[in-house]
Structure 1
Amino acid sequence: MMAINSRQFILMFAVLIAAWMLVFWDGITGMEAIWRRSDTFAHGYFILPIVIWLLHRDRAYLQSAKVRSTWLPLPLLAASSFVWLFAYAADINVLSQLAAVTALMFLVWMLIGNQLAWRYKFPLAYLLFAVPMGENLIPSLQDITAWITVFLLKVHGIPVFRDGWYIQIPTGMFEVAVACSGIRYLIASMAVGTLYAYLTYRSFKKQLLFIVFAFLLPILANGVRAYLIVIIAHYSDMKYATGADHLVYGWIFFGFVIMLMFWVGGKFADPEPKTELYSDKGATKGQHNKLWVSVSVYLIMMATWFIEHNISVVELPKSADTVIKMPDSNWGVSFTQPMQSSYQRESNGTELFFARYGNKQSEGELVSFSNKLYDAERWTVIDRITKNENGKVYRYLLLRDVQGRERALLYWYQIGDKQVVSPAFAKLYQALALLTGQANFASFVAASTQATEAQDTMASLLKSADSMLNQIGLNQVGN
């Protein structure tokens, strides 16, 4: 056994942390870039200092502790490395960042052993708050905020009509926009509330109850905030709380909510625990040598780094079109930064679109929020049919605008010889094709026209799409 402040252990720890940073550098810098540009995740800068402070406040125990390295997290570390490789190949940033943080957690666990890892399970788990995730909750939070606002307005006696995220009252219309969803309040409240629960309570039950409280309170409070903004605007004849000032009111209100949360939580605080020193009692015998554990960690890191740097990244040609011009078309399909693209219009009015991407491209990607199958502001999907015939998989959409005009759209993604219609499966097959070397490129193929009978239209669009691919060259689509 060896004291945790041993120079040998510190050197070993430093080398492995350096290896971790080398392997996961893209994920680390990606997280920092999001912290820098997004107010929602700016708290990420404080997570590591908080973890270090939590360890420092327990320094008496830590300095007396002895390291008992363990093999137990080795499969978890290997799994995190594999997830990182998959996310890196598929350009799924949040998954790669999550894999980087979990790999760090498992690496530390392996080095310090089960007993110390269990004692410091909260500081290790708290690192997860550094990962900028949670924006997928925004639509649900907008719905909840709109529902609470409408409910309170009805209780108040103000006539109100809700259409999705739009709220109409006699004096004006309000939108529950992304900034009004309360996502910033929720994530900040969870980060602060979880830390407060750990520092204030010894009982796991109390900690869990307070974390649930810290989750629900900002959601309810944000609905009340939105209601108060509508009330202020209503009684001021739309002079106040309709511009940037309502964001100021929001942060003031959020500060009050956080104070309320702490005040309520303080009523049930547990007494401070007594300082304790490390004891070998209950420690697992027969721990493995720290050197071999460290070598295993290092080998996993270097293998991950080697595979990562042997994944071929296709450079986007400088001549590549970033926007495809479609004159006199109301379709609205848009794919950014393809390596190769094509737009055609046949004599019968059928429009054809093709975009080709590298499975791992320096700029742009096949599946992205910036890529649009159609103009969502103009068209609404009224029918959706997925077909799988003779190895061909495609999806048919019937679109309609506010004037009642209809448009048919048929499309699929092609990765090698695999056709899929789900963006998630397209990402999956792209990553697998890249990691196994089966294909370096993938494509999006689509055909659209003014709608007629569904079966006739589908057959016609499929024939036109195949004809376009023959002109482009089928060997270019999947290879």
Structure 2
Amino acid sequence: MVVPVFANSGRAYMIVMIAHLSDMKLALGVDHYIYGWVFFGIVMLLLFWIGSFWRQDEAPQSTRPAAAPQAAAGARGRPLWLAGTAVLLVASLWPVYAIWLNERPLPEMTALQVEPGGGWQPAAAFTRWTPHWVGADRQLRQSFAQAGNNVLLELNYYVTQRQDAELINSQNFMIRQKDPAWSNIGEKIADVTIGGASRQVRQAKLRGSNGQRLLVWQWNLIDQRPVVNDQIAKLVLATDRVQLKRDDGLSVLIATPYLEGEMDAAAATLARFAADMQEPIGRALDQVNGQ
């Protein structure tokens, strides 16, 4: 029990320090799993090596020559070293694989365009608020209007997860810290109904220094499925990467202005917009990634 506890503590400390010393550029995304596997392989190799000092050799039979026990002990020790070497080699493959993924050329992509549905039409911008999503390979920011309702749509598409270009990133947020123009007055995971189906969104209420209030919904699309939980999203993306599948993802963010006491009307506007734009966004995602 002692070794696993100290080894896991060392692994966590190593990942935190790598992120700190690299100015929050390394060990923030899928690569922190890779570093963990390398550390795990090294610890296992050390355990095998230390355990070899306490191995119990069988007593030699009296009919064998004197040199036979030493030869037998050497033969039994070789599989141990072979196993340890194999573990280390397998663990060392992950950094090489990660480097290859980060250095491979990106596929050709078209511009991210959405044909509005449900009677929504492109409109002039109604807010100066801009969310902070970094490293997107394709981005679309467009305001839409219908029957006097205004909605902002921002899509950020990541064709593959790599350093400084990750769908799930601590640098992706709705408002910068100490933003002089905007305040986040309430953020939570909300249960909503979109197109007759229950799902979750990340909901935020924003207030501007000019008095404007915005209701914001955000979620991610991975494998065309909505995901809100960051840990689940990272797990799905890491699994896709290990299985040599596409690890692309799309952040969907919609916002509409509201008056104090009229949250329900604003939520209904966002729900209707999300339902009307669900298929157009899916088609846009298929086009940009070449499907």
Calculate the TM-score normalised by the size of structure 1.
0.40
Deviation at 1:394, TM superposition (A): 1.8
Question: Of residues 323, 329, 334 in structure 1, which corresponds to 2:132?
Answer: 334
User: What is aligned with 2:43?
Assistant: 105
User: What is aligned with 2:267?
Assistant: 458
1:98–1:432 distance in 2 versus 1, CA, 3 Å: closer
Deviation at 1:331, TM superposition (A): 2.2
What stretches of structure 2 of length at least 5 have no aligned partner? 1-13, 58-72, 112-123
Output the CA distance in 1 between the equivalents of 2:36 and 2:241. Answer: 21
1:391–1:434 distance in 2 versus 1, CA, 3 Å: farther
Output the CA distance in 1 between the equivalents of 2:204 and 2:20. Answer: 35
User: What is aligned with 1:471?
Assistant: 280
User: What is aligned with 1:285?
Assistant: 56
Alignment deviations for residues 211-259 of structure 1 (CA, whole Å, 9 cap, x no partner): xxxxxxxxxxxxxxxxxxxxxxxxxxxxxxxxxxxxxxxxxxxxxxxxx
Deviation at 1:353, TM superposition (A): 0.5
Residue 386 (structure 1) aligned with residue 190 (structure 2): yes
Residue 443 (structure 1) aligned with residue 257 (structure 2): no
Residue 424 (structure 1) aligned with residue 231 (structure 2): yes
Question: Of residues 369, 378, 383 in structure 1, which corresponds to 2:170?
Answer: 369
Indicate conservation of the 8 Å contact 1:384/1:398, yes or no.
Answer: no
Output the CA distance in 2 between the equivalents of 1:114 and 1:292. Answer: 11
Alignment deviations for residues 383-424 of structure 1 (CA, whole Å, 9 cap, x no partner): 535116526332322223456542100110121143222222
Output the CA distance in 2 between the equivalents of 1:91 and 1:320. Answer: 26
Indicate conservation of the 8 Å contact 2:213/2:258, yes or no.
Answer: yes
Indicate conservation of the 8 Å contact 2:30/2:238, yes or no.
Answer: no
Question: Of residues 58, 83, 97 in structure 2, which corresponds to 1:296?
Answer: 83
User: What is aligned with 2:61?
Assistant: none
Amino acid at match of 1:414: L
What does residue range 143-222 of structure 1 map to in structure 2 within 5 Å? Answer: none
Amino acid at match of 1:298: T
Alignment deviations for residues 45-96 of structure 1 (CA, whole Å, 9 cap, x no partner): xxxxxxxxxxxxxxxxxxxxxxxxxxxxxxxxxxxxxxxxxx98x8245554
1:468–1:319 distance in 2 versus 1, CA, 3 Å: same
1:438–1:102 distance in 2 versus 1, CA, 3 Å: closer
What stretches of structure 1 of length at least 5 have no aligned partner? 1-26, 39-86, 116-282
Deviation at 1:438, TM superposition (A): 5.3
Output the CA distance in 2 between the equivalents of 1:301 and 1:354. Answer: 41
User: What is aligned with 2:144?
Assistant: 346
Amino acid at match of 1:113: G
Q: Give the secondary-structure state (helix, strand or coil) at the position aligned to 1:342.
A: strand
User: What is aligned with 2:120?
Assistant: none
Indicate conservation of the 8 Å contact 1:359/1:431, yes or no.
Answer: no
User: What is aligned with 2:97?
Assistant: 309
Deviation at 1:442, TM superposition (A): 1.0
Deviation at 1:363, TM superposition (A): 4.7
Q: CA RMSD in A?
A: 4.1
Output the CA distance in 2 between the equivalents of 1:379 and 1:98. Answer: 37
Output the CA distance in 1 between the equivalents of 2:37 and 2:90. Answer: 16
**Bigger helix share:** 1
Deviation at 1:362, TM superposition (A): 5.8
Amino acid at match of 1:386: A
Indicate conservation of the 8 Å contact 2:214/2:256, yes or no.
Answer: yes
1:407–1:328 distance in 2 versus 1, CA, 3 Å: closer
Output the CA distance in 2 between the equivalents of 1:435 and 1:94. Answer: 14
Output the CA distance in 1 between the equivalents of 2:150 and 2:192. Answer: 26
Q: Give the secondary-structure state (helix, strand or coil) at the position aligned to 1:386.
A: strand
Q: RCO greater where, 1 or 2, for CA within 8 Å and sep 6 or more?
A: 2
Output the CA distance in 2 between the equivalents of 1:398 and 1:365. Answer: 25
Indicate conservation of the 8 Å contact 1:395/1:412, yes or no.
Answer: yes
**Bigger strand share:** 2
Calculate the TM-score normalised by the size of structure 2.
0.62
User: What is aligned with 2:161?
Assistant: 360
1:412–1:380 distance in 2 versus 1, CA, 3 Å: same
Deviation at 1:443, TM superposition (A): 1.0
Deviation at 1:299, TM superposition (A): 2.8
Alignment deviations for residues 275-332 of structure 1 (CA, whole Å, 9 cap, x no partner): xxxxxxxx441488332122223333444455663985564579999xxxx9773322
Question: Of residues 215, 221, 226 in structure 2, which corresponds to 1:408?
Answer: 215
Output the CA distance in 2 between the equivalents of 1:303 and 1:475. Answer: 39
Output the CA distance in 1 between the equivalents of 2:86 and 2:55. Answer: 25
Indicate conservation of the 8 Å contact 2:153/2:255, yes or no.
Answer: yes
1:467–1:360 distance in 2 versus 1, CA, 3 Å: same
Query: What count of residue pairs does the alignment treat as equivalent?
Result: 230
